[in-house]
Amino acid sequence: MKNFSNFAYAAAMTTVFGLPAFAADQPGAGVDVSPIKGSPANAWFQHMVVQQGLEALGYNVEETLEADFPAVHLAVASGDADYTFNHWKPLHNDFFDKSGGEGVMTRVNAAITGAGQGFYIDKKTAEANDITSIRQLSDPAVAALFDADGDGRANLSGCNPGWGCEIAIEDHLDNLDLRDTVQHDQGSYFAIMADTITRYNEGGAILYYTWTPNWISDVLVPGEDVVQIGVQKDGEMDAGFAVNDVYIVANNEFLEENPAAAKFFELVDIPISAVNAAQVKLRDGENTLEDFQRHATDWIAENQEQFDSWVVQAAAAAN
């Protein structure tokens, strides 16, 4: 296994059932592959789908490394990891570029598309106070509606330090003159959101950032429980965050040496609805590696013909 002691390891399952018969032609036999993902558990599903495809091609997929997103990109760039299925474009553009960019790694494929993100508040407070833009929270009276700790400022449940969304949120706070009225609460995102959900259930006003695919929107349902508020600039309103695609990013040297893996990465296509469905299972307590492996196995079984075609084409690319 590659030396990568600075990152936390998570044991990944390696037994794959129901591999297609043609997988006997395994161009990856004898080759170790090291994946890496960000620290949130919600990226396991897509990594497990890719892992099963690589194993069908004969690759030995090592334990999946976990790290904060800047370190994920540095690992792929340096070759300490071979690939990640956790690169959000454009959210992670800076991480990609500052790690060496296209000179050392490749965005092989936008295998999940249409991932949204933005700011949300509870519907009751939005409607009672006609709040449609986060810029309105520059008014201390409006911001105080979302004060959860008694300091007069709105508490914004935000992103972990080191995540791409942290940078975007911090830019909004600076550019929209919100520093004096909004506090960006950071730490463990899902722990903070658990407190936010509790506050909502107790009748409190809430302000938070989230993204899709993510189980948060299955608990705080947009249009029913909460509404998305935009970012007003120059008289126009938008979400304040770009819609992202989630890419498989791989080390260039690895891609050159492993055309079968490169082709498989190129072919993977997972609907965002499937990722959302996996997030609901995660929310409901199916949160072990065995669970994540089963989620991927079940989705593959439901899409077996397509998955098998990916493996066939990838194996052919090595010949």
Write down the pTM of the prediction. 0.82
Range from 50-59, 104-113, 235-244, 276-285 carrying the lowest mean pLDDT: 235-244
Helix (H), strand (E) at residue 211: strand 207-211
* Mean pLDDT, rounded, for 207-220: 92
Whether residue 90 has a cis bond before it, omega within 30° of 0 = yes
Beta bridge partners of 182: 154
- Residue 196 in tokens: 């936010």
Q: Is the N-terminal amide bond of 70 cis, ω within 30° of 0? A: no
For the stretch 145-177, pLDDT in tens is 999 999 999 999 999 998 989 999 999 999 999
List the alpha helices (DSSP H) in 67-122. Answer: 69-78, 93-98
Closest by CA to 206, choosing from 228, 232, 178, is 228
> Helix (H, G, I), strand (E, B), or coil: what is residue 62?
coil
Res. 10: pLDDT tops 90: no
Q: Is the pLDDT of residue 9 over 80?
A: no
Residue 25: per-residue pLDDT: 74
Quick: pLDDT tens for 171-198. Answer: 999 999 999 999 999 999 999 999 999 9
Cα–Cα distance for residue pair 164/63, rounded to 1 Å = 25
Please give, one letter per residue, the 3-state secondary structure of 225-261: CEEEEEEEECCEEECCCCCEEEEEEEEHHHHHHCHHH
232 pLDDT more than 90:
no
Residue with tokens 């497990």: 48
Locus of tokens 């760039």: 77
